[in-house]
Amino acid sequence: MRRIVRGALVLSLASAGTIVVAQPSSAACAPEKPKFTLSGAKTSYRPTNIVSDFIQGPGRISYSKTKTAEASWSGSVGIGGDIGPIVAKMTASLEGSYTRGWSKASTWSYSLEIARGKTQRIRMYHASKKVKVSKKTFNTGRCTWRTAYTNKTVDVPKRQNVNVWKRENL
């Protein structure tokens, strides 16, 4: 005779009495935070909103303005909600300190010669780090790690005030 009592299998045997055999448990594992892996870190520069007008050469562009410069992170589709933990991982494991968005109020001044036949302007770029990110999430029902995405690219500004001016052609 077989019957199930509260998750355990109970067997009644005439000569041996009752034996209780535990069934496999479906208990879930403890939750784990997602794991982010960084690879291929390279120094890069994010464009800021500090930019001159275009001029046609020969001539000189002179830019001087008091303004708040801004540069923000960019990245592959689907990682927006993960940018906080990614920035924290970058700051903890890469040289430097990183932020979702950098801004600094200052007077920005620069000048540059433009060659004959060129139409150019200058823009300030802010130092950043471009990395590939992979994310794994933990399935508590199966007690296994699952790959959410691999090799998604992010470009995150440095917290420090490190900038370069670059020419941009029309």
pLDDT per residue as tens digits for the range 146-170: 999 999 999 999 999 999 999 999 9
Strands (E), 14-160: 17-22, 35-51, 55-56, 59-72, 74-75, 101-114, 119-139, 144-157
pLDDT tens digits, 108-140 = 999 999 999 999 999 999 999 999 999 999 999
Query: Can you name the residues that pair with 126 across neighbouring β-strands?
Result: 46, 163
Indicate the pTM of the whole model: 0.77
DSSP alpha helix (H) spans, the chain: 83-93
Q: Look at residue 28 in the predicted model and tell me its pLDDT.
A: 75
Using the predicted structure, report yes or no on whether residue 17 has a pLDDT greater than 60. no
Phi/psi for 56 (5° steps) reads -100, 130
